[in-house]
Amino acid sequence: MKTIKALPFLAIFLVLIGLLLFQPFLTQPANAQVFIYTPTAESNGNIYYIVKSGDTCQSISLLNNISIDQLRAYNQLDLNDCDNMRIGKKLLIGIVPTAVITAGPSPTPTESVPTPMPVIGQGTVCVYLFNDINGNAIAEDGETSIGGGEISITSDAGDFSQTAPTTADDNPVCFENINEGSYTISIAIPDGYNATTAQNYKVTLKAGDTSTIDFGAQASSHLTVESGDNGGKSLLLALVGGLILIVGLGIGLYAYSTLQKK
């Protein structure tokens, strides 16, 4: 009778061990992106930075190549303000001098003035496909670029479409001097890799902006074969975990059925 009562606890113990050994095969890749935008001057010549979570005067100065003293002077910040930034606050980080117009002779009037063509600004979109070794969807030191993939960028207006291969030289592939507007960026992962991030992303490009999109991929054999020995051990642990899980469930059902009969 004591043996039968102890069987449920044994079953739970075996189920937990089986789940622990089988857990690496249940892990799903994260879906994150990193997007970098270069701030541009507004119509009055001022360049602003919008405060994000975790920002301080020091991090903002390093990110935008401005001294802390200049940042504080531009925005009348004291030391307490620097350590307690309000998310969404607009900070002045630079001033672009405006041209001084010197009066000259009046132009000779013409009979008809041509209709001015609208000015369309241009920007740059850069794409980086990196080897996401740890599968966290964030490009980190030591995670180099992957060649052999295919990048596609298409404007939502349908007036621009271009492709380019990814490279393994640790530099992003950039599409320069393209008109501002909305674009869809897609990545084709090379054979032997699985995506660890979304493979499509929409970006709204403004004049003067440089938008960088990171896409991650991981070798398809990473979870099971990191080396000859480790791959075999991972598969063996998974099989052992599955068997222990099945045995634990069987013992639990047997104990439950026996107790019900009594």
Sheet holding 150-155, edge to edge: 161-165, 150-155, 181-188, 200-205
Q: Are 214 and 127 in a shared domain? A: yes
Q: Does residue 138 form part of some domain? A: yes
Q: Are 171 and 201 in a shared domain? A: yes
86: its two tokens:
């309000």
What is the per-residue pLDDT for 262?
59
Rounded-to-integer distance, Cα 166 and Cα 162, Å: 13
Model pTM score: 0.43
**Of 202, 189, 186, 211, nearest to 130 (Cα)?**
189
Q: Are 183 and 199 in a shared domain? A: yes
Give one DSSP letter per residue of 211-232, joined into a string: EEEEEEEEETTTTT-SSHHHHH
Question: Is residue 147 scored above 50 in pLDDT?
Answer: yes
Q: Are 234 and 215 in a shared domain? A: no
Q: Does residue 35 form part of some domain? A: no
Q: Does residue 14 form part of some domain? A: yes
pLDDT above 70 covers a percentage of the chain that reads: 74
Pairing of strands 210-219, 122-131: parallel
Do 183 and 155 touch, CB atoms closer than 8 A?
yes
What is the per-residue pLDDT for 223?
43
Read off the pLDDT of each residue in 201-220 and give the average, rounded to a whole number: 90
CATH code (residue 79): 3.10.350.10
Q: Are 203 and 124 in a shared domain? A: yes
Q: Are 125 and 208 in a shared domain? A: yes
CATH code (residue 145): 2.60.40.10
Q: Are 215 and 130 in a shared domain? A: yes
Q: Does residue 104 form part of some domain? A: no
Q: Are 253 and 200 in a shared domain? A: no
Question: Is residue 227 scored above 50 in pLDDT?
Answer: no
Burial environment of residue 7 by CB neighbours within 10 A (0 to 12, 13 to 18, 19 or more): middle
Q: Does residue 212 form part of some domain? A: yes
Of the pLDDT bands very low, low, confident and very high (cuts 50, 70, 90), residue 130 is: very high
Q: Does residue 156 form part of some domain? A: yes
Full domain range(s) for residue 73: 46-95
Do 217 and 147 touch, CB atoms closer than 8 A?
no
Question: Is residue 79 scored above 90 in pLDDT?
Answer: no
Q: Are 154 and 67 in a shared domain? A: no
Tens of pLDDT, residue by residue over 40-66, are 777 777 888 889 888 888 888 888 888
Q: Are 189 and 238 in a shared domain? A: no
What is the per-residue pLDDT for 225?
39
If one counts every other C-beta atom within 10 angstroms of the C-beta of residue 85, the result is 19
Rounded-to-integer distance, Cα 31 and Cα 12, Å: 33
Domain boundary among 219, 235, 253: 219
Identify the residue with better confidence: 206 or 258: 206
CA atoms within 13 A on the CB side of 210: 6
Q: Strand, coil or helix: what is 39?
A: coil
Q: Does residue 134 form part of some domain? A: yes
Q: What share of the chain is helix, strand, coil (3-state, %, to 5)?
A: 30, 25, 45
The structural domain count of the chain equals 3
What is the per-residue pLDDT for 82?
85
Helix axes 57-64, 68-75, angle to 10 degrees: 110
Do 143 and 128 touch, CB atoms closer than 8 A?
no
Q: Are 207 and 235 in a shared domain? A: no
User: How far is C-alpha 107 from the geometric centre of its chain's CA atoms?
Assistant: 54
Domain boundary among 80, 95, 110: 95
Q: Are 151 and 242 in a shared domain? A: no
What is the per-residue pLDDT for 113?
65
**Of 148, 46, 52, nearest to 92 (Cα)?**
46
Q: Does residue 124 form part of some domain? A: yes
